[in-house]
Amino acid sequence: MTTKSEQLFNQAKQFLPGGVSRNTIFRKPYPFYAASGEGCYVTDIEGVTRIDFANNMASLIHGHAYAPIVKAVSEQLAKGSCFTMATSAEVDYAKLLCERVPSFDKIRFVNSGTEAVMAMLKAARAYTGKAKIAKVEGAYHGAYDYAEVSQTANPNNWGDIDKPSSVPVAVGTPIKALDDVVIIPFNDVDRAINILDQHKSELACILVDLLPHRVGLIPASDEFVSALRKWADDNASLLVFDEVITFRTNYAGAQQNYSVDPDLTALGKMIGGGFPTGALAGSDKVMKVLDPTEPKVLLPHSGTFSANPVTMTAGLVAMRDFDQTAVTTLNNLANYAREEIDKAIVEVGITACVTGAGTMLRVHLKAQPPKNYREAYNDKEESKLINILLEHMFANGVMMINTCSATLSTPMTTKEIDHLVLTLKSGFEMLKPLMSNR
């Protein structure tokens, strides 16, 4: 007998490339299909319920079907979902976010994190009159040609550490796009500054994720960020942060943990309250490039669904309820999770470690936490073992992101964390014999 998921996948393959709309949810032999979600639990169409530590790739801070959002959005839907007019919802939400984050003088809403990063890079170019950008090797910034360069670099193509190669993700990426992206190593001040110095007059901005997931989910050092801030100031460039994922790590985002501010910040994921969204925020002087009241608009920008009242309503409720108390409570719960995972690693005696900050964590099958993308990179054997561990987690009621990462949501308690740790521990015990020759 075939499962409901297999039947649905067979239909999907007729109409969707590979049977999916997002490659990240594809699984062999077929993906699972969600039926419903409530709080931090998801039930699939086979009737199996799991704890959701993926949270739609870190985009859900209050879990599924959060009652205050459901109520507010339902009321807004009855009034209309989008208009060729502004609404008070976007004004209220802009006010909340700008008052929340010191570096936000102005904000412009868009429809996704990728779009927010695109707008941010274009704004930096418009403001500085320069074309090139610098970014950290391995860091993920969405699907824009320039932003995605070197996010999947590997030992065969990443080049010398003193001059990392600009590696395309998609076949057919224009060579010009690669030439306009300068790659710097993470948390390596001397090497990064040396590379930047070779492009002093060309760089519009330096793009930084303060807790880059694919680089290893390790925080950028204040020394590193401060050095980039100084370099940008000295060379008529901008320092811009991608907080699409990391904004969930503190009340004012990950940038709250640093001694310097960015010129611009890209947001997305959780600020939509479960709906597609993104935003570009920053200083008055730079955000002016978007201002239609200026004599010359340096960056004309619009979007059919940008700041639609449904998303603005959901986001406003989500962020209002993710107040300082909620942030502290959830971060403490994540600290407990990382501590307990560390204990499980020691008890099993497996070669592994856990990284992360705020509401996020990542398990590595490495003896020590990686310091950069090259150390975080998984070879074929490590990737195989991680996939075995993820399958074990899924089969035992735990959904994680496919790098063996977890994100927390406010409905979670120590009950869910204890189940995560117990399941990881049994997974470590299963993997240990397979790792004996490594």
Asked if the model's pLDDT at residue 91 lies above 90, the reply is yes
In a domain, 23, yes or no: no
Asked if the model's pLDDT at residue 159 lies above 80, the reply is yes
The pLDDT assigned to 1 comes to 62
Asked if the model's pLDDT at residue 209 lies above 80, the reply is yes
Rounded average pLDDT over 117-134: 98
- Tell me, yes or no, whether 289 and 367 share the same domain: no
- Tell me, yes or no, whether 271 and 127 share the same domain: yes
In a domain, 214, yes or no: yes
pLDDT tens by residue, 31-40: 999 999 999 9
Decide if 308 contacts 82 (C-beta within 8 A). yes
Decide if 121 contacts 114 (C-beta within 8 A). no
> Which residues are paired to 52 by β-bridges?
399
Q: What does residue 281 show for φ and ψ, rounded to 5 degrees? A: -135, 155
In a domain, 348, yes or no: yes
pLDDT tens by residue, 166-205: 999 999 999 999 999 999 999 999 999 999 999 999 999 9
In a domain, 347, yes or no: yes
- Tell me, yes or no, whether 224 and 97 share the same domain: yes
In a domain, 47, yes or no: yes
Rounded average pLDDT over 138-155: 96
The CATH number for 182's domain is 3.40.640.10
User: E-assigned strands of 227-295?
Assistant: 238-242, 264-268, 278-282
The pLDDT assigned to 436 comes to 75
In a domain, 169, yes or no: yes
Q: Among 144, 181, 152, 176, which residue's Cα sits nearest to residue 166? A: 181
- Tell me, yes or no, whether 420 and 340 share the same domain: yes
Helix (H, G, I), strand (E, B) or coil at 163: strand
Q: How many residues does the chain have?
A: 438
Asked if the model's pLDDT at residue 437 lies above 80, the reply is no
Asked if the model's pLDDT at residue 238 lies above 90, the reply is yes
Distance CA 352, CA 346 (A): 9
The CATH number for 423's domain is 3.90.1150.10
The pLDDT assigned to 27 comes to 86
- Tell me, yes or no, whether 52 and 76 share the same domain: no
pLDDT tens by residue, 404-433: 999 999 999 999 999 999 999 999 999 999
- Tell me, yes or no, whether 195 and 329 share the same domain: no
Mean pLDDT of the chain: 97
The Cα-based distances of 255 to 27, 53, 242, 404 in angstroms read 35, 24, 10, 25
- Tell me, yes or no, whether 215 and 195 share the same domain: yes
Range of the domain at 333: 32-61+324-435
- Tell me, yes or no, whether 57 and 80 share the same domain: no
Q: Among 341, 335, 380, 376, which residue's Cα sits nearest to residue 358? A: 335
- Tell me, yes or no, whether 297 and 395 share the same domain: no
- Tell me, yes or no, whether 173 and 308 share the same domain: yes
Q: At what angle do helices 324-348 and 414-431 cross, to 10 degrees?
A: 30
- Tell me, yes or no, whether 314 and 353 share the same domain: no
Q: Which of 297, 321, 345 marks a domain boundary?
A: 321
Vertex 144: Cα angle to 141 and 147 (nearest 5): 45
Going by C-beta distance under 8 Å and a sequence separation of 6 or more, which residues neighbour residue 386?
365, 378, 403, 404
What is the pTM for the complete model shown?
0.96
Number of domains in the chain: 2
Rounded average pLDDT over 213-235: 97
In a domain, 6, yes or no: no
